[in-house]
Structure 1
């Protein structure tokens, strides 16, 4: 509904400009300046909302969290992965983390996809949109009727071509009005010469264009009373202008005023024309005609436009959190914010380190579905001589049909990374291998990029693609001024061997990105906002950064957000913090040049009401068994389970409310039924969605809105494999 917020903001500004006109300018006789002010107000009111001054609203930089884990001593060897370390993982779904020796993981945070069976319900926003469109349609229809009637009049009446206008005679009437270069005058009108002289002022100064512009504005802002008031005021100013110039031909202003009074009985006419006979304006016209002219200093009043624009521009930046701003007049400076958490668990056994020749760390592609699960494969290299899972490995193709992208060291410069992803457009021929371009640059005092250099070449074509994208970045980089940074740009054409071409000393590089011949897919909330999210720690803090479409961003932390923030994130941005999360991992077979095995990782999030996030979640998570047949067939599903909570908090009468398939139903009911604890919830019937996910093909079905009725306590998700670590949001 961004267009609706934009429209509301623009109409507020239109009202402010009109009130300023009423306070300062209505009595002034500089009518041309007044006309210009009113037209300017109509235009600038719709421009200011798409502008902002980012410096008034500093952008917080990306927040980086580091967690170091070793495997718990009771973890079975075949349940634990031994990757190369260190590995830096970044994704909107898989957070920034370091995996050292045994495992370093931070659980993913996902946003559910729209289910194929979801039932759509009209929301209040939908009703508001339909009401707006109906109103706009009615006003548009009324304008068409007025124009049609006017054109019919022109077509049927007698016309005489004059020098710069057409005179249209209206029989048996005393009406007189003009519309563009058509001057209509009744056969019974008295003082025709004076009337024609008056209407010719309207024609020469194109006053009809002003009125049509206001009529179009009324279609867009039909609900705003200031639009109608402004149109009336503009037509009044038009009459003042015409009266002033017509009176100059008369003996004096009093004589012309007397003529107006003696002819103040003309017939009415359309609101889109300028009528000489307008009884409602007669008193104002005579007063202004005989009023003393405004002094020279009175022109300074029109400069009130400048502070109004400045104040509204600041208000647009500070008071409205929006995504429709297109131009930042003064971009914000990034204030670096870093949170570091270190939680190391000891392990009684030494970790197995695989061959150091394999690539390290990487970028995970988020889903391209709005509001969808954003998890992708996390390709962590493992020991090629000893697969770490007993399942048959799967081919390394993600859910979108693209080859899985291996991990590379993530830079952590979100705004720069986003710019590079959106501005490097890579295509390749059948014989191209791709390559790695190493780029170095220095940050000036404003932390902007200078001194760009190619540290590692991949040929003129790829070098140019990388350099051009860096050069076009005008924002700041969240690092120390004066520092020299290096980044690797991996141009991937399907040959994994390029990832063995680490550019020099890997530690010297700040990170890298993988560029493919298809667009990078950013995580997007259900309301159209791009975001990154992450979590970490034994009792992690879930965090999300929401990106404005104008390039700004802001972080939100689950341990510090207020209830109002949580509601705002849900209603405005379409985002909800998960309550539980873990990283499910499966081995897969990569493409040419990589090795025998990589690891497919899926962030599995649950969204549960209290008090189901602790003991109940832990029990069902451990007891839930993924059906073997469906796992082999790469099927995922959702089962809605109903149960009763008695007066003592015990769960009973567990059954299927909505099926997800016979084997899924059996597994879900068995896991919930086996819970023998108590729940501090209201007695009565409740429902819970049990979500079966697959890390192997990155499948996480979405819970239908039709499931979420009275008694619904949320969704609990499990993949085909458990993890050594699960995380719950701090309470």
Structure 2
């Protein structure tokens, strides 16, 4: 879910930058074919750039910080319940997002098949190299290779202009542009930027088609036709309706003086814009102080690590022969997140009877490796206290479900983890109310209460 959220945010930033560039620099130019090409290219780049990955590390220095995860209490019924059963807002947002995706995709598919059904019911004509589909429910529009009309009269001059207009949409394959946009809308259904992109592309389509008509017919008569059909409806997502879009602006663009050819150089400005977006979201640039996120413990200092230091941190190899990392960019995640992990520990850790009888308490530090497949291996005790506590800690970690593996430079790696578990004896009258603190990877702890 985090990866999807990151992608959506980065792609949205790319779309925003692209739209601002287009609106400020290119939208008023009359190079409609080039405007169409740049809009589609920039939209495509916006969707692709966040998923590209190019490693580029000019500086081999990294600032490393040890990570401490939030405390969790086991034994206090109110506290544990609120921690274990707290709302996972990220999952709720993810569910809402997926509902929107399914709704948008369903609406798209429904619209497509409704259009096909109407085409099957329509009367088909082949007129001047064009397929004309006539149905009373149609408004003048184009749908891939078909021109859609509510009625067809070859002698009607207005209809001749409409057919010429729609034939430009067909010949330029504008429906394929709209299909591309509709597919993007499935993923970005919540984002107003994709709808602005769609409007800009539809606008360019109409400018191109109007330009094709005014090469043959009078601009004045054609403008009057647009005004007469101002109230026409709008078709499905794949259709270019004859009078769907900003009639006033279309008339202005028809009468506008053609842009100077020298202004075509503006389109080259898109190259550094897209290059900058590529560097921002596709290139991993190691800066002088690249920080691995996470709070520093009290009294600890963040330290810079060079190549030799990093090499020292990955000398060990796991059971599968691969290197084991102590420090990674993306840490392994326990099953169910920290809520699930805390619940697992609280449900499975027991205070050994031998340790309880001997009055043993203290902190056991367990080290283990989360492998690239998420399995846990190489479980060992870094520091023990005896009395069966060490064995209990090993048992619980060895039996834990698979994790989500950590990654380094977007590559899954084996990762070494530390789990301090604090065994603490409480007073007899409050034994059942003592709580445990669990932390993953420095120096969180769990207090295991004595069972009466």
Do the aligned partners of residues 223 and 603 (structure 1) sit closer, same or farther apart at CA in structure 2, a change above 3 Å counting? same
Residue 149 (structure 2) pairs with residue 185 (structure 1): yes
**Residue 267 of structure 1: how far off its partner (Å):** 3.7
Contact 2:122 2:133 in 1 (8 A): yes
How much does 1:52 deviate? 5.1
The whole-number CA distance in structure 2 between the counterparts of 1:123 and 1:322 is 27
Counterpart of 1:239 in 2: which secondary structure?
helix
- Partner residue in 2 for 1:211: 178
Distance in 1 between the 2:331 and 2:58 partners?
12
User: What residue number does 1:300 align with?
Assistant: 265
State the Cα deviation string for residues 497-553 of structure 1 (Å, max 9, x = none): xxxxxxxxxxxxxxx979x9xx54666xxxxxxxx22xxxxxxxxxx343699xxxx
Q: 1:338 to 1:184 in 2, by over 3 A?
A: closer
Equivalence for 1:552: none
Q: Is the 8 A contact 1:180 1:206 kept in 2?
A: yes
SS of residue in 2 equivalent to 1:546 = coil
Asked whether the equivalents of residues 62 and 291 of structure 2 are also in contact (C-alpha less than 8 Å), the reply is no
- Rate the CA distance shift 1:582–1:195 in 2: closer, same or farther, 3 A: closer
Once residues 174 and 129 of structure 1 are traced to their aligned partners in structure 2, the CA distance between those partners, rounded to angstroms, is 38
Asked which structure has the greater CA Rg, the reply is 1
Q: Is the CA contact 1:13–1:312 (under 8 Å) kept in the aligned structure 2?
A: yes
Query: What secondary structure does 2:49 align onto?
Result: helix
Q: Distance in 1 between matches of 2:52 and 2:247?
A: 41
**Is the 1:254–1:290 contact (alpha carbons within 8 Å) kept by the matching residues of 2?**
no
Residue 434 of structure 2: aligned partner: 686
Mapped pair 1:604 → 2:381: yes
Following the alignment from structure 2 to structure 1, what is the Cα–Cα distance between the partners of residues 205 and 214? 14
Greater relative contact order (CA < 8 Å, ≥ 6 in sequence):
2
Q: TM-score, normalised by structure 2?
A: 0.65
Residue 277 (str. 1) matches residue 243 (str. 2): yes
For structure 2, the residue ranges without an aligned partner over 5 or more in a row are 69-82, 293-304, 342-361, 368-376, 398-420
- The whole-number CA distance in structure 2 between the counterparts of 1:305 and 1:166 is 38
Residue 303 of structure 1 deviates from its aligned partner by 1.5
Q: TM-score, normalised by structure 1?
A: 0.42
Alpha-carbon distance between aligned partners in 2 of 1:267 and 1:582, rounded to the nearest angstrom? 70
Residue 445 (structure 2) aligned to one of 687, 699, 714:
714
Correspondence 1:31 to 2:24:
no
2:22 aligned with 1:246: no
* 1:389-435, Cα deviation, whole Å (9 max, x unpaired): xxxxxxxxxxxxxxxxxxxxxx7595xx8xxxxxxxxxxxxxxxxxx
After superposition, the Cα gap between the structure-2 partners of 1:315 and 1:605, relative to the gap in structure 1 and judged at 3 Å, is: farther
Structure 2 vs 1, CA of residues 33 and 601 (structure 1 numbering), >3 Å: closer, same or farther?
A: closer
Paired residues of 1:266 and 1:277 also in contact (CA < 8 A): yes
SS of equivalent to 2:20: helix
Identify if the C-alpha distance between structure 1 residues 319 and 15 changes in structure 2 by more than 3 Å, giving closer, same or farther. Answer: farther
Shift in Å, 1:264: 3.0
The aligned runs of 1:379-398 (5 Å cut-off) are none
Partner of 2:7: 6
Q: RMSD of the alignment, in Å?
A: 4.4
Relative to its length, the structure with more helix (as a share) is 2
Where do 1:528-607 residues align within 5 Å? 532-533=325-326, 544-546=327-329, 603-604=380-381
Q: How far 1:46 moved relative to its partner?
A: 2.1
Structure-2 change in CA distance of 1:601 and 1:208 (3 Å):
closer
Cα pair 2:63 2:291 within 8 Å, conserved: no
Q: Is the 8 A contact 1:61 1:337 kept in 2?
A: no
Distance of aligned partners of 1:133 and 1:19 in 2 relative to their CA distance in 1, 3 Å threshold: same
2:117 corresponds to which of 152, 168, 173: 152
Alpha-carbon distance in 2 for matches of 1:640, 1:687: 10
1:427-506 alignment runs, 5 A limit = none
